[in-house]
Every structure is written in C-alpha cells, then in structure tokens.
Amino acid sequence: MVLKLLVAGAVALAVRRTSDSPFARQRVRTVCKRAPDLAMRDAPIEPDWILEGSPRARAADHVRSADDSAFSALWDCTAGTFRWYFHWDETVVILEGEVHITDEDGASYTLRAGDMGYFAARTWATWRIDDYVKKAAFIRRPFPSPVAALYRMRNALRQKQPSF
C-alpha cells in the first residue's frame, strides 16, 4: 500500500512538473529582495498562546518553493511572553533585538542579533521578548514518515559506499 502511494505521488509530481501540463508551476530560480522592501502585515499570535503582555507580531513573505514545501519570511514582534507551536521545521536568524526561549525540555536560550536557532516541527517553545525582536525564518515542511524513512535509508547506504 505504501509503495502504491509513493508511486502515485511520484507520478503526480512528474505530471505537475511537465511544462505543458495545466498543473505546471513556474519554477523560481533566484529571488533577491531587500528586507526593508518586504511589506510587513499583521500576523496575530493565537490568543490562547499568550502568557503575558500584548505582543504584536507581523510577517512578510519572501519566497515559497514551487512545491510549497519550504518558504522564507521575515517576522517581528513587540514585548510579551507566549508559547509557540512549530508546525514545520524552522531555522531562524535574529536580525534585531533579542528573545529568551525555553524549549519543551526546560532548556533556556537567549538569541540576539546575529544568532541562529532551529526548532523541530511539532514542538513547543516559550518565547519571552522584553522589547522587540525581528527574525528571518527559513521554514521546511517535514517529509511524511515513509518518505523520510526512504531518505534515511538512502543516506545510510551512501555513507557505506567506498569512495575512489
């Protein structure tokens, strides 16, 4: 059954990527934009997640991959404390300000301008912002479990191959 789903998915992707297919998307090769030129829009934090203060968040999309499995964006937020659920894997680079983060295991981190952080999909973290923070975010949808297992097997096989 899993093999049938994988084959059906591969066929669907092949059809989508055929340039004369009605489902074909334009492939994005390079996108360069100045961060200050990106239009920030309100991106309210889920009210149930807010623990303290009245944080105001905004976001601006930079680019999305053709298959919608990854995107990059800017995000900023004013003072407040809230829990955040990461639906997808997310790597951040702090551009301005700082944030105090406590992960699900209770480990605490402070990220300042120039620092990077990674948050795995399907995890929670508490964010405390004393004044303001602005980040660049690189977000990737995790592969479904069967596909991820195939990638892990492929990577394991590559590591065992002799190099010449």
| Per-residue pLDDT tens digits for 11-25 | 555 444 444 444 445
Residue 37 lies in a domain: yes
Cα gap 112→127, rounded to integer Å: 13
Residue 21 within any structural domain of the chain: no
Q: Domain for residue 60, yes or no?
A: yes
- For CA atoms 38, 26, 93, 33, give the dihedral sign: negative
Say what the pTM is: 0.72
Share of the chain above pLDDT 70, in %: 77
- 4-54 tens-digit pLDDT: 545 555 555 544 444 444 444 556 566 677 777 788 999 999 999 999 999
- Write the CB contacts of 97 (distance below 8 Å, at least 6 apart in sequence): 112, 113, 129, 131, 132, 133, 134
Residue 121 domain boundaries:
29-143
In-domain check, residue 91: yes
Strand partners, 86: 123
Q: Which residue has the higher pLDDT, 79 or 16?
A: 79
- Tell whether 7 is covered by a domain: no
Say if 99 falls within a structural domain.
yes
Q: Total domain count for the chain?
A: 1
Specify the CATH number for the domain of residue 42: 2.60.120.10
Asked if residue 64 belongs to a domain, the reply is yes
Q: Is 14 a domain residue? A: no
Query: At 52, is the secondary structure helix, strand, or coil?
Result: strand
Residue 49 has what pLDDT? 97
